[in-house]
Amino acid sequence: MTGMTMAETAKTAKLTFDDKEIELPILSPSAGPDVLDIRKLYAQGDVFTYDPGFTSTAACDSTITFIDGDLGELLHRGYPIDQLAEKSHFLEVAYLLLYGELPSAVQLEDFEHRVTQHTMLHEQMVYFYRGFRRDAHPMAIMTGVVGAMSAFYHDSTDITDPWQREVATIRLIAKMPTIAAWAYKFSIGQPFVYPRNDLDYASNFLRMCFSVPAEEYEVNPILSRAMDRIFTLHADHEQNASTSTVRLASSSGANPFACIAAGIACLWGPAHGGANQACLEMLREIGTVDRIPEYIARAKDKDDPFRLMGFGHRVYKNFDPRAKVMKQSADEVLELLGVENNPTLQVAKELERIAIEDPYFKEKKLYPNVDFYSGIILDAMGFPTSMFTPIFALARTVGWISQWKEMIADPQMKIGRPRQLYVGATMRDYVDVEDR
């Protein structure tokens, strides 16, 4: 266990089967439901538990993020996400996630300075980018480039050295905007734009994406604030699929760059981070509000694999608090850009209205998630849909590294090794090919 927050209570649960009776300790978290400690179950009962998709299984303990899915509550180190989105900013939230407390003014300045000093990529990496096809998806490029960081920054791959862990942390957070922006620039055949350390994190990213050498680029402070808010809303989300991937990969002792590359690969899927791209594509495909009922009917049809993208969540069964802030941000940005009558936004609003009143979605507790409105903002800012998931990956890197650091520092860290319910053939003798 990493912290002071989890205590074993005197409570136990009894499990009885065959002629065995096993007493299982019940752990009380600082928030959320009690947790049955089954670590000794196999040793004592010669039995495994079965939980594909980890719907009832805690794979670790953590002090970083807490979600109450019934209340629609998301806390980072105890602070509600809506307060952080309104009053804080991405690098301050990054500090909070990484080190556990909000920084003092001096600590924040020092942290921002350290991140800013690492924004450039090793120049040799330019050749690495050039090896990709022009039409490569930016997520494919990011997975490759972040994995390749272990070949460029050997001096921060020893996970047993706290100093190297810190350097890897700062490098990843600092370089991710450059990596993502360059993936975009490469795909549109424009020259790479080098980072500018006098700009804040979000403005620097926007400039690297949208500026060209032929013209100076003025970062609009409202767009940079909206970008920063998107980063903040995606910073961490406890033990989701990609974070669990990072933890599992790093449990073998793999270096941080390899582990974050594994997280990026996992995030890409449409059930996870890829949903923001899939959602905007769906909204465009629907096109006009009169076609919404057809898509709602398809989403409800058991024989149709179609799902309403940007709807539903494994943990949130009320609403996704990030979606609320995102919706408000979408309104602001679209108004600023003078595109509040954007047909995609109209379809999104009407789809949300119809779906949340529909008995199918009500009964299954399916509400808009963070990906429902983020794509509309990113689209209005000028990003192509293929960049939506890379932006999610950029922001989530902070959460992945915070969770990775927490895990590596935990003296109880063990290699992750799930068991299985084997349902295949039992032992049988090999048959020569001519006899089959």
Any idea which residues carry the catalytic annotation?
Answer: 313, 371
Q: Does 352 bind ligand CMC (CB under 6 A)?
A: no
Q: How far is the CB of 274 from ligand CMC (least distance, A)?
A: 8
Stretch that binds ligand CMC, among 100-108, 266-274, 333-341, 414-422 (CB under 6 A): 266-274
**What six digits make up the tokens of 299?**
């989403």
Residue closer to ligand CMC by CB (options 157, 242) is 242
Site string for ligand CMC, 305-324 (x = CB under 6 A): --xxxxxxxx----------
Long-range CB contacts (within 8 A, 24+) of 64-67: 64/97, 64/236, 64/238, 64/399, 64/402, 64/403, 64/406, 65/97, 65/236, 65/237, 65/238, 65/399, 66/30, 66/31, 66/32, 66/238, 67/237, 67/238, 67/315, 67/316
Nearest to 367 by CA among 290, 314, 288: 314
Site string for ligand CMC, 281-310 (x = CB under 6 A): ------------------x-------xxxx
Give the ranges where 189-240 is alpha helix by DSSP (H): 201-210, 221-233
**What six digits make up the tokens of 1?**
């266990």
Instruction: Quickly count helices (H) and strands (E) in the chain.
Output: 18, 6
Q: What are phi and psi of 79, to 5 degrees?
A: -90, 130
Position 345: which residue type?
L
Q: How far is the CB of 322 from ligand CMC (least distance, A)?
A: 9
Binding positions for ligand CMC, 200-229, rule CB under 6 A: none
Among 72, 195, 273, 321, binds ligand CMC (CB under 6 A): 273
Closest residue to ligand CMC: CB criterion? 312
Long-range CB contacts (within 8 A, 24+) of 215-224: 220/336, 222/332, 222/333, 222/336, 223/333, 223/336, 223/381, 224/200
Contact 380, 333 (CB under 8 A): yes
Residue closer to ligand CMC by CB (options 85, 193) is 85
**What six digits make up the tokens of 352?**
């949300």
Q: Does 71 bind ligand CMC (CB under 6 A)?
A: no
Q: Does 391 bind ligand CMC (CB under 6 A)?
A: no
Residue closer to ligand CMC by CB (options 143, 204) is 143
Q: How far is the CB of 370 from ligand CMC (least distance, A)?
A: 5
Contact 27, 37 (CB under 8 A): yes
Among 85, 265, 366, 380, binds ligand CMC (CB under 6 A): 366
Stretch that binds ligand CMC, among 20-28, 120-128, 218-226, 364-372 (CB under 6 A): 364-372
Q: Does 257 bind ligand CMC (CB under 6 A)?
A: no
Using CB under 6 A as the criterion, which residues of the chain lie in contact with ligand CMC when the complex forms?
A: 240, 271-273, 275, 299, 307-314, 364, 366, 369-371
